[in-house]
Chain A
Amino acid sequence: MMIKVLEPLGQVQKLVPVQMNEVPPLTGKRLAILDNVKPNFQRLAMLSAEKLKDEFGAASITHFHKENAAVGAAPELLDEIARSADLVLTGSAD
C-alpha cells in the first residue's frame, strides 16, 4: 500500500544563472586574492599566485580580505576587486 505525501523541500529560488568567464592568458594580467581569513589561507593563496606569476608572467598580485571568516564579502569589496583584477583566487572553508 502506498500513500500520497507532500515532499518537504519545495522549489529553489529562480536565480539568474551566471555565464562563467573565460580565463585570459595571464601574461601581464592582474591577479587578486580574496582571503577568506581562515588560518594559513593567505600564505597558501599567495604561494599559488606567485607560482602563476612566475609561470605565466602575470603583472601583479593584490591581497584583499573579508571582514571575518563567517561573513560574506561586502558588495563594495567585490566591486573594488572587479575593478582591479583579471583573475581572482579565493577560499572556501578550512
Chain B
Amino acid sequence: MERRGVPTVVLTSSAFYAKALYDGRSLGLPEPRIAVFKHPLGGLNDAQVIERADAMYQSLRDALARPPAPLAKPPGVIAQLVTAPSDALELQGWYAEKRWSDGLPVIAPTPEAVARMVAGARRAGNDVVGIVPPRGGVATVEQIAVNAVMAGCRPQHMPVILTAIEAMLEPQFNLAAIQATTHPVAPLVIVHGPIAKELGMNSGAGTFGPNSLANATIGRAIRLILLNIGGALPGDVDRSTQGSPSKYGFCIAENIEASPWGSFITDRGFAADANAVTVYGAEPPHNINDHEHGDPEGVLRVAADTLKGLGHNTWFLAWRGQKELMLILGPEHASSVASTGWTRQKVQEFLFTAISRRREELVPGGMYGMRDWPDELNQRPMNTLIPPVPSPKDVLVLVAGGAGKHSAALPSFGPTVSVTRQIPGS
C-alpha cells in the first residue's frame, strides 16, 4: 500500500513483531509502521480482544505520529569469499553461530568444491535460477551449489536440485507463504524417471527415511537453500509452531516399477520415461496401516479416513480456488487397489467421494471461520457432502516404498499447487 501512496500501519502480535519487520524490509520499506498487541489474538473472547485493542492503541498512535523513515539504500552485493576455521569441529560451531546451517555438520564449500558442483549443473555459475522468498535471495547456480556442497551432495545431483527450485518458484506453489507459515509444511521433492536410479535414489523400502545419499542430501540441499538464500530462519521468519522433521530433508523417488499405472507424470503430459521433479507443499507423511483388505474399496476406505482429517488446512484454504491432497501408496496396497482393474482415475474418483464430509462435520473444524470456499459451497445445506479438493484429479495418487502393508497420506498446506518440471538435458 505504501508503494501505492497510502500510509499503512501493520497490527501484529508481540510474537510476530520480528516477522512483520522482516516482511516490511523485504518489500523495500526501511522502517515499516508497526503497532504491537500482546500475543495471541486467535482464540480470545470478545472482552479479551477489546482489552488487546485498548492496550495497543498507544502503540498505534505512536506508529502514526512517526515521520517516514528515509529511503532505504539498495542492498549491496554480499562478499562471497569468507574466512572460516579449517578444523572440522570448529567449523561446525562457526556455521551454527552464523545460523548458516540446519544444525547438522556441513561440508566446507571451498571454491574448488563449489566449482565441481557448478560443473555438475551443466549451466553457468552466474545463471539466475530465481529469487527465493521471503528474503529475496538471488539463487544463482553457484549460490545453489554452495548450499549443495554444504549438504553433502554430489555434482550429478545438481540438475535435480535446480529443477526443484525452479518448480518451487512458480507462483501457484506459493513459496513465500510456505516459508513463513505457522503450519509445518515443507516442500516434498519427488523425482521421477530413470535418473532416480542413475543417482542411486531410494524409491523402495524406507524411501522417506535415512541411508540413501541422494535422497538425504538433495532434500537437505533444498532446505539449506530455503534457509540461507530464502532466509527462512525458524522462529524469526519461518514461524512454524512446531516445525517438522521433514524440514531437514524431504525427497523421495517414485517407485515406477511397482506402480500398476506407470509414472505419475504421464497424467501431467510428460513421457512415461521422462526425468522430472514434482514439488508439493506437504505435511509430513501420515501413516495408513491396512493389513486387512486386499480389495480396492477396502484399502481406499482406510486411506480416505486418514486423508480427510478435520485438522487439515485443505478443508478451508486454497490457492486461487485450487488445492490438492496426495496419497502415496505402498506397492502392496497399490497392487491390491489395482487388482480388479481399477485405473488411477477410478481410484481418484472413488477417493474424491470417500474423503468428502457433511458440511455439519466441518463446522467444528479449526479453520472453519477462515474458510475461503466459493459461494456455491457456502450455500449448501448442512447435511450435504463437501469435498476437500475441487475435483477427483486433485487427489494425487502415486506409488513409493517397499514391502509391507503401509501407505502415506500427505495433506497439503492448502493454498499451494504442486508443480512438475522436466529435468533439462537428461
Task: Report which A residues bind B (CB closer than 8 A).
Answer: 1-24, 26, 32, 34, 37-41, 43-45, 47-48, 51-52, 67-72, 78-79, 81-82, 85-94
Contact = CB atoms under 8 A, between A and B. Distances in A.
Top 4 closest pairs, chain A to chain B, by CB: A93-B16, A20-B68, A47-B53, A82-B4
B269 interface: no
B131 to A, nearest CB: 5
12 contacts: A5-B84, A8-B100, A8-B147, A9-B100, A9-B229, A20-B32, A20-B69, A39-B370, A52-B64, A72-B176, A81-B6, A93-B20
B84 A2 contact: yes
Interface string B106-117: 001111001000
Contacts of B137: 9-13
B65 to A, nearest CB: 8
A94 B42 contact: yes
B28 A17 contact: yes
B419 to A, nearest CB: 16
Contacts of A18: 2-3, 27-29, 71-72
Nearest to A3: B86
A44 to B, nearest CB: 5
A31 to B, nearest CB: 10
B348 interface: no
Contact of A93 (B12, B46, B65, B139): B12
Contact of B6 (A13, A19, A51, A82): A82
Interface string B1-21: 111111111111101100110
Interface stretch (B298-306, B315-323, B385-393, B402-410): B315-323
